[in-house]
């Protein structure tokens, strides 16, 4: 028997967890959707589609998708990036085998249609039109009730959201809800981000200018009908850029909700759903996990390397590093680790690494929030990047001023001494980012309620139009 989290109503999640635990205890195979579904069953009549472009999109959306599946919706996940295959995501086995979701990689389908690829072959980037054709083959005669996506500013001018724009044009249509559930808390935690081309705010303003032009040319579906964000930090950022605040709802952070974090460790990131994900052997040493970040965080690789090497020289300290997903070469990792004696855990899910570690070290990544929510010690290398972070502003976590200062703090922890600072801002940070400044609530259940409210409204509007005609 699984009991709901204290203070949570456990809607949906408790029902699924109870069945899951019973199957685990009985040693039965993973639960999947019944082979024969009665006519009119919600799973055949109610379909929601989630568009997953980046690897992290599914990390964000999974709690909501699980909740919707538990409420009887058929969930279809479509991956459209040619480099990140959503079928290889560490959550996919659980979502497919336990929750009965369907996961399709459109880039692979488009490549096969074009006669490219094959076993082990690299997939070239398909055109947006080819991806839409592949999606049409997957959907066949199915018309989704809702399209969920990470993208907030979905326009043809945004090269990274072009497919989403065309997908909604093709499969959205009248009465289909389009809902954005943006993750990327690094955007709200860091003030001075940069990209390889131009600052994000300048790019977003360009997209919005194009949006306004599209709004004058009906019919069109942009921006999404609803934007469910984690905190008021998103609201301020988006409204400054011209997004209609009436479309935005503060609904908490799906990915970093403690209830989901608990379920990840208790049920999802465990056999039989987790493949080979080996962590360093545990011993009496202090476990330090360094979460590397990419160029967008204005990181100084030299300063990070100095720090990692200093950690590795300490007695009683075990160091592991987790490369950022954009680090696709050993050289990009070596720039920030040098000759340090450390384990590189590229294929291990971040949640397992955070669970393993005694100390989380970062340069502004949102994964620090997960560490804080689990009561871990968290250190930000403020001297190794050019961002002004919310963690530093609130005084959340350990904030060393140099590699020597950071090494001194770690050495003290290895000797059993607590550095004694960094706690004052943690509660404010968790409350702000995870619960939108409110008291704790079940995030996935609330967002599912909001999605169903939108679907109910869409149904009412469709019925009214049908009656009028």
Do 89 and 188 sit in the same domain of this protein?
Answer: yes
* Residues 322, 217 within the same domain: no
Is residue 276 included in any domain, yes or no? no
Phi-psi region of 12 (alpha: psi -120 to 50; beta: other; left: phi over 0): left
- Does one domain contain both 210 and 83? yes
Q: Is the peptide bond before 123 cis (omega within 30 degrees of 0)?
A: no
The predicted model gives 419-442 an average pLDDT of 87
Q: Which of 8-12, 334-338, 442-446, 464-468 has the lowest average pLDDT? A: 8-12
140-168 pLDDT tens trace: 878 899 999 987 765 444 555 678 888 88
In the predicted model, is pLDDT for residue 99 greater than 90?
yes
Q: What is the mean pLDDT of residues 344-361?
A: 92
What value, to the nearest 5°, has the Cα angle with vertex 151 and ends 74 and 365? 105
Whether residues 419 and 452 share a domain: the answer is: no
Determine which of 187-196, 300-309, 340-349 has the lowest per-residue pLDDT on average.
187-196
Return the pLDDT at 208. Answer: 52
Whether residue 187 lies inside any domain: the answer is yes
Q: Averaging pLDDT over each range in 79-83, 153-157, 293-297, which range is the top one?
A: 79-83
Residue 10, domain member (yes or no) = no
Average pLDDT of the residues in 408-419: 93
In the DSSP assignment, the letter for residue 73 is -
Give the range among 187-191, 261-265, 317-321, 364-368 with minimum mean pLDDT. 187-191
Spatial distance between the Cα atoms of 219 and 104, rounded to a whole number of angstroms: 29
Q: Which domain holds residue 203?
A: 21-32+40-257+442-457
**Predicted TM-score of the model (pTM):** 0.81
Residue 236 scores a pLDDT above 90: no
pLDDT of residue 204: 52
Asked whether residue 228 falls in the same domain as residue 315, the answer is no
CATH of the domain at 73: 3.40.50.2000
Task: Provide mean pLDDT across the span 96-102.
Answer: 95
Best CA proximity match to 410, nearest among 318, 301, 323: 318
Residue 466 lies in a domain: no
* Average model confidence (pLDDT) across the chain: 78
User: Given pLDDT bands bounded at 50, 70 and 90, which one contains residue 43?
Assistant: very low
What letter would DSSP give residue 265? I
3-state secondary structure of 158: coil
When mean pLDDT is compared across 42-56, 78-92, 234-248, 386-400, the lowest value belongs to: 42-56
- When comparing pLDDT for 316 and 277, which is higher? 316
Residue 360 falls inside a structural domain: yes
The yes-or-no verdict on residue 402 having pLDDT over 70 is yes
Q: Which of 133-147, 165-179, 263-277, 290-304 reaches the highest mean pLDDT? A: 133-147
In angstroms, rounded to a whole number, what is the distance separating the alpha carbons of residues 255 and 262? 11
Are residues 296 and 225 part of one domain? no
Indicate if 91 and 187 belong to the same structural domain: yes
Cβ(239)–Cβ(245) under 8 Å? yes
- Which bin fits 397, alpha (ψ -120 to 50), beta or left (φ > 0)? left
How many domains would you assign to the chain? 2
Same domain for 154 and 236, yes or no, is yes
pLDDT of residue 242: 75
Instruction: For residues 95 and 173, state if they share a domain.
Output: yes
Q: Are residues 253 and 293 in the same domain?
A: no
Q: In this structure, are 304 and 219 located in the same domain? A: no
For 90-95, what is the mean pLDDT?
Answer: 94
Q: Are residues 222 and 347 in the same domain?
A: no
| Position 269 in a domain | no
Distance between CA atoms of residues 27 and 23, nearest Å = 6
- Enumerate helices (H) and strands (E) in the chain, giving the number of each: 19, 12
Residue 271 inside a domain? The answer is no
Q: For residue 223, tell me if it sits in a domain.
A: yes
């Amino acid at each position: 028997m699984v009991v709901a989290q204290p203070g949570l109503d456990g809607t949906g999640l408790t029902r699924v967890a109870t069945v899951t635990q019973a199957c685990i205890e009985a040693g039965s195979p993973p639960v999947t959707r019944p082979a024969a579904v009665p006519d009119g069953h919600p799973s055949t009549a109610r379909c929601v589609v989630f568009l997953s472009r980046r690897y992290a999109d599914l990390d964000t959306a999974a709690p909501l998708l699980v909740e919707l599946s538990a409420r009887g919706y058929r969930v279809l996940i479509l991956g459209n990036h040619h480099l990140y295959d959503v079928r290889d995501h560490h959550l996919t086995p659980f979502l497919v085998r336990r929750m009965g979701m369907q996961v399709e990689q459109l880039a692979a389908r488009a490549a096969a249609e074009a006669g490219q690829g094959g076993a082990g072959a690299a997939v070239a980037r398909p055109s947006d039109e080819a991806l839409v054709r592949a999606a049409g083959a997957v959907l066949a005669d199915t018309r989704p009730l809702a399209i969920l996506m990470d993208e907030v500013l979905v326009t043809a001018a945004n090269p990274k959201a072009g497919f989403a724009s065309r997908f909604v044009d093709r499969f959205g249509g009248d009465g289909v809800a389009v809902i954005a559930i943006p993750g990327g808390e690094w955007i709200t935690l860091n003030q001075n981000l940069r990209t390889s081309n131009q600052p994000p705010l300048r790019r977003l303003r360009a997209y919005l200018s194009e949006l306004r032009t599209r709004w004058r040319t009906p019919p069109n579906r942009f921006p999404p009908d609803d934007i469910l964000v984690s905190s008021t930090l998103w609201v301020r950022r988006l409204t400054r850029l011209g997004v209609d605040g009436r479309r935005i709802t503060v609904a908490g952070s799906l990915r970093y909700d403690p209830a989901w974090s608990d379920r990840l460790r208790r049920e999802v990131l465990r056999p039989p759903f987790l493949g080979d994900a080996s962590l360093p052997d545990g011993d009496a040493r202090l476990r330090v996990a360094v979460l590397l970040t990419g160029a967008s965080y204005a990181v100084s690789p030299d300063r990070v390397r100095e720090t990692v090497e200093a950690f590795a020289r300490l007695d009683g300290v075990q160091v592991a590093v987790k490369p950022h997903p954009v680090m696709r070469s050993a050289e990009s990792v070596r720039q920030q680790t040098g000759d340090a004696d450390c384990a590189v855990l590229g294929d291990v899910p971040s949640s397992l690494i955070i669970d393993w570690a005694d100390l989380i070290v970062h340069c502004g990544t949102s994964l620090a929030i997960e560490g804080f929510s689990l009561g871990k010690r968290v250190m930000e290398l403020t001297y190794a990047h050019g961002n002004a972070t919310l963690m530093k502003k609130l005084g959340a976590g350990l904030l060393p001023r140099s590699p020597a200062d950071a090494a001194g703090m770690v050495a003290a922890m290895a000797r059993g001494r607590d550095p004694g600072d960094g706690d004052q801002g943690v509660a404010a940070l968790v409350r702000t980012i995870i619960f939108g400044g409110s008291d704790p609530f079940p995030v996935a259940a609330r967002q599912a309620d909001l999605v169903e409210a939108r679907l109910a409204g869409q149904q009412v509007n469709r019925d009214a139009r049908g009656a009028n005609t």
